[in-house]
Structure 1
């Protein structure tokens, strides 16, 4: 395959896809203050709704990962984005009280299942369309739409909600998802994206008894855990601790995702450079994991800060580090798994991360209702420490050894 500037086109379109997925995902968190007030949901109920998304996302990621490897990126992504766009639209029709809880939980579950294809699709796109020395940057481009979406969401949906109500915001973003389908149908073919040399004879499912599986889980899911609490609880923290109103949240909430966005591009470049030095498949980027773990430690001190602007700077830094965990973990795992299973690898990473969020976020929500913010951020900081320690143990001495 001849590589040229066109080689980036498919990853850029997948960046738009991940942008849409995070806009759809972040509306609930961005508008949580007004949605909770309108529907009467508690923070604990709200985090249970988020967990419904996380559980479905957990299931959808490895499932879509294996399906995309089998049926192909073109068909798989068309189906997945259609499903989650319909789910986004359905948020607009939920009721009040218990009906709101059940309706939002069902809508979030369907959204999470459909969005499970986003990162497996983005990872497979980078692997299929780019040479090895540019693949980490391709991953960064494909995934960076998520952080960009989280940046843009407050500026997009808060004005819509202010003018037309929070339900209208879901109608707008769901419609954008259906528009993306036409763009993908155009690009998901040669010369932008090569066709697989041969179709797999069967669907490959993950093996949970392999060391490489658990190494990916620890490096990605535990390393990047802070992503969930920062995305889902930042608005409530600003509102309850500093009294920031729903309308003014948009001036703050773009900051953490900006760190996430910057992190993808920096760590994509740094990982390509670092992995080039690890010529053998037996070598491992242990130094990068240790560095990322150290860089994440300042998050534990966030409750000592008396300024919302400075809190956002800490969240910016933490999200910058989160992006590093994601890129490094995936690039390391790509050496341990065959190229034909690349979608499954990305699905496992995002899916197990979602499972961890589903388990721990309701606990953090309960602590938020009890104003136990120090314990919340201490736990969020310690999870990556555990993840790196386990990754180092699991990958000894061969990263590809199962």
Structure 2
């Protein structure tokens, strides 16, 4: 019996990654939406809440390179499924917390397992897409991060209102078990996938082979592994900007609901109605940023790597918007500026993530992404602790100014450090 073949299968594969990313971020965003309820229920201070957030961030930071190594070693099919099972179980366990210390423990377990999502996604992009399509593919799967955060407010608020706060974690965690099964039984590498047409396989593997031949010629016998990566200038050209950019996304993900309650006087219903809008704007930034890079290559004949730099710089300049939140005269204007920030961050984030697939051998792309992700989360963790220590005393406004300055500095560092000559990669049609 002949197996039916599906055209453009690579886009179905990235859609499956997107769904997994949505559920990953739905699980992690459930805490921030429930935070006002949990703070009141357990008499939790803002600083104690920041420690709960920090437990997730610290575990995520440590786990990212380890998750990347595991994915490169066992393969993305099995590895992604196992990590998804882990984060689903960890999120469900939040329902049994009895105070901020137990929340911190369960949050740490969630961070250890959720850290695999982005390295896995970038590894899939590197395996399934030729170079000129990668920012588009990354843009589409990266909307999962903002889409998951976007749907979290109405889902979590509904669960809290109808069944209590415990149900919010059980519901947002349980759906991950279903996705893990779907991924394991549905994913194969392009070399082995029985439903991939010969023409699409040639499109994928041919573009990848040209890139790898150019990379091998430039690198010679350069060894693989984290020790070889950590001494490379082009690795730090990604890691340092990600270190500077991640505090913005951590702030949007973990502190927008608290900011709207404490600084703008909104209630839980207002959060459910409006707190998802910045993440909708982030979806637009992720998608538009993905198509922006190949458009620059076609329109202005810039190189592959230069197109990534321009996208990152555009997003960094747009971050001036949320830097001005202190000047907003109403909650609606503050939310609008958060929307600008969500759009900007996901635009620049997609470019930085895709650079890992552009610059590093696909056998270590998950490791490289995880290591750069650790640098990013060190930045996010540090800034979350700063917010916890200072938000109740100096307010949020100066901290939002810092977020804009960080991204502009990151863009300058990317242009300074990333000077590698691009491979001979054809322009997109």
CA 1:139–1:253 in structure 2 vs 1: closer, same or farther (change >3 Å)? same
Name the structure 2 match of 1:112. 111
- Report deviation, 1:209: 2.6
Q: Is the 8 A contact 1:259 1:320 kept in 2?
A: yes
- CA 1:289–1:78: 2 relative to 1, 3 Å: closer
- Residues 284 and 394 of structure 1, relative CA distance in 2, 3 Å threshold: farther
Alignment partner, residue 427 of structure 2: none
The alpha-carbon deviation at position 264 of structure 1 amounts to 0.8
CA distance in structure 2 between the aligned counterparts of 1:142 and 1:397, rounded to whole angstroms: 26
Comparing 323-332 with 30-39, which one deviates more in the overlay? 323-332
**Shift in Å at residue 311 of structure 1?**
0.9
Q: Identify the residue that residue 167 of structure 1 maps to in structure 2.
A: 166
CA deviation vs aligned residue, 1:180-230 (integer Å, no higher than 9, x gap): 122112211214688999xxxx98325323212211112333134311112
Of 68, 78, 81, the match for 1:75: 78
* Structure 1 counterpart of 2:94: 91
Give the direction of change, closer, same or farther, for the CA distance of 1:183–1:218 in structure 2 (3 Å limit).
same
Q: CA deviation at 1:274?
A: 3.1
Aligned residues: 390
Between 1:31-40 and 1:187-196, the stretch displaced more is: 187-196
Cα separation, partners in 2 of 1:214 and 1:159, compared to 1, 3 Å: same
Quick one: structure 1 residues 122 and 397, their matched pair in 2 at CA, closer, same or farther if it must change by over 3 Å? Answer: closer
Cα RMSD (Å): 2.4
**Where does residue 229 of structure 1 map in the other structure?**
251
| Residues in 2 aligned to 1:182 and 1:203: alpha-carbon distance in whole angstroms | 32
1:370 aligns to what SS in structure 2?
Answer: helix
Specify the alignment match of 1:205 in structure 2.
Answer: 226
* Structure 2 residue 265 is the aligned partner of structure 1 residue 243: yes
- 8 Å CA contact retained: 2:160, 2:168: yes
Task: Give yes or no for the alignment of 1:135 onto 2:112.
Answer: no
Partner of 1:146: 145
C-alpha distance in structure 2 between counterparts of 1:344 and 1:270, whole Å: 27
Residue 226 of structure 1: SS of its match in structure 2?
Answer: helix
Secondary structure of 1:172's match? helix
- In 2, the alpha carbon distance for the partners of 1:280 and 1:149 equals 30
Distance 1:71 1:319 in 2: 34
Residue 163 of structure 1 deviates from its aligned partner by 1.2
- The Cα shift of 1:319 comes to 1.0
CA deviation after TM superposition for structure 1 residue 120, in Å: 0.9
| 2:327 matches 1:304 | yes
Residue among 1, 4, 11 paired with 2:14: 11
| CA 368–246 in structure 1, closer or farther in 2 if over 3 Å, else same | same
Change (3 A) 1:42 1:340: same
- In the alignment, is the contact (CA less than 8 A) between 2:139 and 2:350 conserved in 1? yes
Tell me which moved more, 177-186 or 128-137: 128-137
**Is the Cα–Cα contact under 8 Å of residues 312 and 349 in structure 2 kept in the other structure?**
no
Asked if the contact 2:119/2:370 (under 8 Å) is kept, the reply is yes
CA–CA distance in structure 2, aligned partners of residues 122 and 18 of structure 1: 8
If you compute each CA radius of gyration, which structure gives the higher value, 1 or 2?
Answer: 2
Structure 2 regions of 5+ residues with no counterpart?
A: 209-222, 424-429
Q: Contact 2:122 / 2:357 at 8 angstroms: preserved in 1? A: no
Deviation at 1:25, TM superposition (A): 0.4
The equivalent position to 2:410 in structure 1, one of 370, 375, 387, is 387
Give the Cα–Cα distance (whole angstroms) in 1 for the partners of residues 311 and 118 of structure 2.
22
Q: Does the CA contact (< 8 Å) of 2:132 and 2:294 recur in 1?
A: yes
* Per-residue CA distance 1:343-401 (angstroms, 9 max, x = gap): 2233233332211111111111222111422221111221112212222222246579x
Give the Å deviation of 1:68: 1.0
CA contact (8 A) 1:136 1:269 kept: yes
Judging changes above 3 Å, is the alpha-carbon distance between structure 1 residues 323 and 143 closer, same or farther for their aligned structure 2 residues?
same
Could you state the TM-score of these two structures normalised by the residue count of structure 2?
Answer: 0.85
8 Å contact from structure 1 (residues 68, 343) kept in 2: yes
Question: Counterpart in 2 of 1:35?
Answer: 38
Aligned equivalent of 1:378: 401
> Deviation digits for residues 291-340 of structure 1, max 9, x if unmatched?
32222112221011121111111111111111111111123333321222
The aligned residue for residue 369 of structure 1 is: 392
The structural deviation recorded for 1:280 is: 6.8
Q: Corresponding residue for 1:62?
A: 65
Farther off after superposition, 247-256 or 342-351: 342-351
Note the C-alpha offset of 1:275. 5.0
SS in 2 for 1:110: helix
Label 1:227 to 1:167 Cα distance change in 2 as closer, same or farther (>3 A): same
Where does residue 216 of structure 2 map in the other structure? none
Please state how far the C-alpha of 1:288 moved relative to its aligned partner.
3.2
